[in-house]
């Protein structure tokens, strides 16, 4: 049940992000800043998918896991330079037996930081 609720929430977030962001380099940030990270994606795999299978799928497009989940099935992956989000999403979503959703890789800002409050710290 928890996995189903999580997967539904992730899918809803993916739709929101896809409609609120553009797939180009100007809307992305470096991986050490808050926002949508270029050349990375968050891939949510089916519950029970083993890391070996995740690695097999990633190897097909030259992607690598840069952040493995602890309590979920959402992996942060590094895509090859020049691969756009749409291309990665199409690839991963074709793996319907293994993949639940693909999200923009997003770094969130801690609440109260200058970046999270639009440039002024609290």
Judge whether 118 lies within some domain: no
The verdict on residue 72 lying in a domain is yes
How much is the pLDDT for 115?
57
CATH number of the domain bearing residue 32: 3.30.70.80
| 45 Cα distance to chain centroid | 11
Residue 120 domain-assigned?
Answer: no
Question: Which of 47, 88, 86 lies closest to 64 in space, CA to CA?
Answer: 88
42-53 pLDDT, tens per residue? Answer: 999 999 999 999
| Tokens (6 digits) for 70 | 């602890």
Residue 22: pLDDT above 80? no
User: Is 0.75 surpassed by the pTM of this model?
Assistant: no
Model pLDDT, residue 48: 95
Split into its structural domains, the chain has a count of 1
User: pLDDT tens-digit profile of 63-109?
Assistant: 999 999 999 999 999 999 999 999 999 999 999 999 999 999 888 88
Domain that holds residue 18: 2-107
When pLDDT is cut at 50, 70 and 90, the band that residue 12 belongs to is: very low
Note whether residue 116 is domain-resident: no
């Amino acid at each position: 049940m928890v996995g189903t609720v999580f997967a539904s929430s992730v899918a809803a977030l993916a739709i929101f992000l896809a409609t609120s962001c553009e797939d180009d380099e100007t809307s992305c940030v470096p991986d050490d800043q808050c926002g949508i990270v270029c050349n990375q994606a968050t891939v949510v795999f089916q519950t029970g998918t083993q890391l070996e299978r995740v690695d097999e799928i990633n190897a097909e497009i030259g992607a690598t896991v840069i952040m493995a989940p602890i309590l979920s099935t959402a992996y942060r992956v590094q895509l090859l330079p020049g691969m756009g989000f749409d291309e990665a999403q199409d690839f991963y979503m074709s793996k319907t037996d293994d993949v639940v959703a693909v999200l923009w890789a997003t770094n969130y800002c801690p609440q109260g930081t200058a970046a999270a409050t639009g440039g002024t710290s609290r």
